[in-house]
Amino acid sequence: MPWVEVRGGSIRVKWWGGQYKLDADGKPTKKKLYESASGPQPGIPFKDEEEAYTYGLDREHDVRHGKHIPRASAQTLMKDYCWLWFERADLRPNSQRTYRSMLKSVIVPYWGERPIGEITALEYDLWKKQVRARYSDNYAGQVLSLFRMLMNDAVLKYKLRADVPIIEQPRRGRYEKKRTRRVKRIMPVEVVHQLASNAHHVWGFTGWVYIWTIAFTAMRPPGEMWGLQRGYASPNWPASDPDTERREEALERYQGMHVLRVQYQLYYVNSRPTLAGPKYDSHRSLVIPPFLHEMHEALLASHNSPWVFTAKRGGPLLGTQFARDYWHPIRDGRPATVPKKKGYERFARPALPAVEAMAGQDLYRL
């Protein structure tokens, strides 16, 4: 049971917080650890002994039912919690980079000095409004999603606060039209052919095959396309698969078909090229049409690179200015280039038409 102490003009209540004192080896002893409070809220004293006693009873009720949050835990600063959470989170390299950036540039600068247990719904709504006003819809949504994840783990996993300060109430406040995702329409084959033709002028045969591969496999650019290795292309897979069980199963299942394997994506992690699993662990085998298989055969016969798709000079695509030097001229076209100096005729380039159906679109929209 809690007990109340009256000293001068102040009233304090103590209760058992559900924990025991630890010995020198870090093992719990039989000595209980008590918590205390001088008011229901910081800076607000108890009105009388009865209010203090009731407050202590409520705390002990929370202890018995596993709902009690120790005061020391609730006083953990957000700047400490955020980075402890980040270290313990099991994240993919790309997610690590994204989350680290959002914590460092947005969440910690704003919330860092606030105790995690004192963040209120009102404060969150104020911050949410600032984030929405300052950043793009996509980035703001990612930041708010990460903050929600932090708060959920603080409540459910680490017991640092009693509830989540994020309250979603539909149809409250100013009306906002629901944002809908852009509809991905069926792309006419004539559009794909024009893109592939432009890519052939910009990038050679590799560009021609690159566009047709995206259109007929829906592989995610750039990571999955750049990470497609020779051994996982249809001319070699599944016979070349290093996994014995998967190889035998695929040889039986895909007999008489042409199949490529999406096993990796390629990107930078801490400035180093890294092969990682595809997004959402979506490893998959894709049956491709014979004409695309023949293109891959011809492409692999034209170079010795371990990557199926190489840059203009034969190296990996990772590290190139792909949007500027490849995709934009393919999508937006370019004027003709006519060298004026004699002996530079080899640098002549024909004019390429813009592909209006893809105007302003990213490659993944193909």
DSSP 3-state assignment of 349? strand
* Predicted pLDDT of residue 206: 96
Q: pLDDT at position 180, please?
A: 62
The answer to whether position 165 is within a domain reads no
- For residues 11 and 96, membership in a common domain is answered with no
- The encoded tokens of residue 125 equal 């709504």
The structural domain count of the chain equals 3
**Residue 184 in domain:** no
Q: Are both 303 and 213 inside the same structural domain? A: yes
Instruction: Report pLDDT for 270.
Output: 81
User: What is the span of the domain harbouring residue 143?
Assistant: 78-156
Is the pLDDT confidence value at 195 over 90? yes
Assess whether 209 and 331 both reside in one domain. Answer: yes
Mean pLDDT of the region 89-95: 85
Tokens, residue 224: 């999955």
Model confidence pLDDT, tens digit, residues 290-339: 999 999 999 999 999 999 999 999 999 999 999 999 999 999 999 988 88
What CATH number did the domain enclosing 298 receive?
Answer: 1.10.443
The pLDDT tens digits of the residues spanning 135-186 come to 998 899 999 999 999 999 998 888 888 889 998 776 666 666 666 666 667 7
Considering the domain boundaries, does residue 168 fall inside one?
no
Give the per-residue pLDDT at 72.
Answer: 61
The vertex-213 CA angle with 211 and 218, nearest 5°, equals: 105
In a domain, 169, yes or no: no
Whether residues 198 and 331 fall in one domain: yes
* Of 309, 361, 304, 312, the residue nearest 332 (C-alpha): 361
Is 42 part of a structural domain of the chain?
yes
Q: Which of 156, 175, 197 is the last residue of a domain?
A: 156
pLDDT at 53 over 90: no
When pLDDT is cut at 50, 70 and 90, the band that residue 3 belongs to is: confident
Query: Does 349 reside within a domain?
Result: yes
Q: Are 219 and 353 part of one and the same domain?
A: yes
Q: Are residues 85 and 63 in the same domain?
A: no
Rounded Cα gap, residues 50 and 206, in angstroms: 81
The secondary structure of residue 281, as a DSSP letter, is: G
CB contact at 8 A, 345 and 330:
no
Question: What's the CATH code of the domain at 98?
Answer: 1.10.150.130
Give 192's contacts (C-beta < 8 A, 6+ positions apart): 211, 212, 215, 366
Residues above pLDDT 70, as percent of the chain: 92
Q: What are phi and psi of 332, to 5 degrees?
A: -95, -5
Q: Are residues 149 and 253 in the same domain?
A: no
* Section 255-272 average pLDDT: 92
For the beta carbon of residue 353, count every other beta carbon within 10 angstroms.
11
- Judge whether 274 lies within some domain: yes
Domain boundary among 33, 48, 68: 68
Percentage above 90 pLDDT, the chain: 55
* 50 and 111, same domain (yes or no): no
Residue 60: band (very low, low, confident or very high) from pLDDT cuts 50, 70, 90: confident
Given this model, what pLDDT does residue 341 score?
84
Q: Are residues 335 and 196 in the same domain?
A: yes
Which position has the token pair 């017991």?
159
Residues 226 and 353 in one domain: yes
**Does the pLDDT at position 18 exceed 80?**
no
Residues 27 and 136 in one domain: no
Question: Shortest CA distance to 150 belongs to which of 201, 194, 114, 186?
Answer: 114
In a domain, 13, yes or no: yes
| Final residue in a domain of this structure, among 68, 93, 116 | 68
Shared domain check, 359 and 228: yes
